[in-house]
Amino acid sequence: MLQFSSIFCKRLVETSKARGLHSSSHSLAGHSKWANIKHRKAANDAAKAAISFKMSSKLTMLAKIGGADLSKNIQLSNAIDQAKSMNIPKRVIETAIKRGTGELKSQDKMETVVYEGMAPGGVAIVVEAITDNKNRTLGFLRPCFNKYGLSMTPTSYMFDRKGMILIDIGQANFDSVFEKTLELGAEDILEVDEEGNLVEVITDPAEFGKIANELKNHYKIKEMQIGFMPKAEMAARITDEETRTVYEKFIASIEDLDDVTQIYTNLKDDKSQ
């Protein structure tokens, strides 16, 4: 996209804007773009098949990396809950996990790959994909850039690698959540929605699992991942609607690729200001 926890009420909203979170019609639209594909495409059978494929690939990779013990692999546990909420069949979920742990032999060697480039309007973009063929994935991705005369070039230096956890705090008082989260070792918390229920917790990747396990005892975890957060000083702006429209079409073309799982940009959203 990965979309993360609330921040210092109005003050935190301003902080999140300064971070250059990507904002569009695709979902919660934060830098991690939580569940963007689910919300944009759930209309027909073809779209549902694409969602199932992406989720299956994610489950396989998480099981491969962290094992099938849900008490130790909180990311896999959360992904399973997400898959169930998407009505992905139990058989598909179980098969994906077995493929990741090696219980189910497969000739496909799945891996996570990262691609970088520039989007319309001078916006930096980092694309994460899960694939069994890097050349095939690149072959699908490169035309998305070529169509708009864009280049695939290093941009990850404009981002920091962070753990990001989106939680629903319900009726809890934000100030108490803020204090508790910082006590757990979080680096920052960001307010995601106007109602103040969704909060994004930012962590050091090394502390990600520990903090997530603590948070799940108190709040509902909606999404979680280790991803790319744009550096505030590297934020980009799009000031005209024509460029914005082209940018949105470009992002949508990448989201449509089966192997793509997350898109990160350093776009600062000024539309709400």
Rg (CA), the chain: 18
CATH number at residue 74: 1.10.10.200
CATH number at residue 207: 3.30.70.980
Give domain status of residue 253, yes or no: yes
In the chain, the amino acid numbered 239 is T
Cβ neighbourhood burial of 15 (10 Å; 0-12, 13-18, 19+): middle
- Label residue 260 by pLDDT band (50, 70, 90): very high
DSSP string for residues in 153-187: ---GGGEEEEEEEEEE-TT--HHHHHHHHHHTT-S
Mean pLDDT for the chain overall: 80
pLDDT at 171 over 90: no
State whether 248 and 122 are in the same domain.
Answer: yes
Q: Any idea how long the chain is?
A: 273
- Count CA atoms closer than 13 A to 168's CA, side-chain side: 5
Query: Considering its fold, how many domains does the chain have in total?
Result: 3
- Label residue 23 by pLDDT band (50, 70, 90): very low
Give domain status of residue 252, yes or no: yes
Cβ neighbourhood burial of 95 (10 Å; 0-12, 13-18, 19+): middle
Query: First and final CA of the chain: distance in angstroms?
Result: 23
At 7-20, the pLDDT tens digits run 223 333 333 333 33
Give domain status of residue 62, yes or no: yes
What is the rounded average pLDDT of the residues 126-135?
A: 92
Give domain status of residue 13, yes or no: yes
For residue 102, give both structure tokens: 């090696």
Q: Which domain holds residue 136?
A: 111-157+235-265
State whether 43 and 91 are in the same domain.
Answer: yes
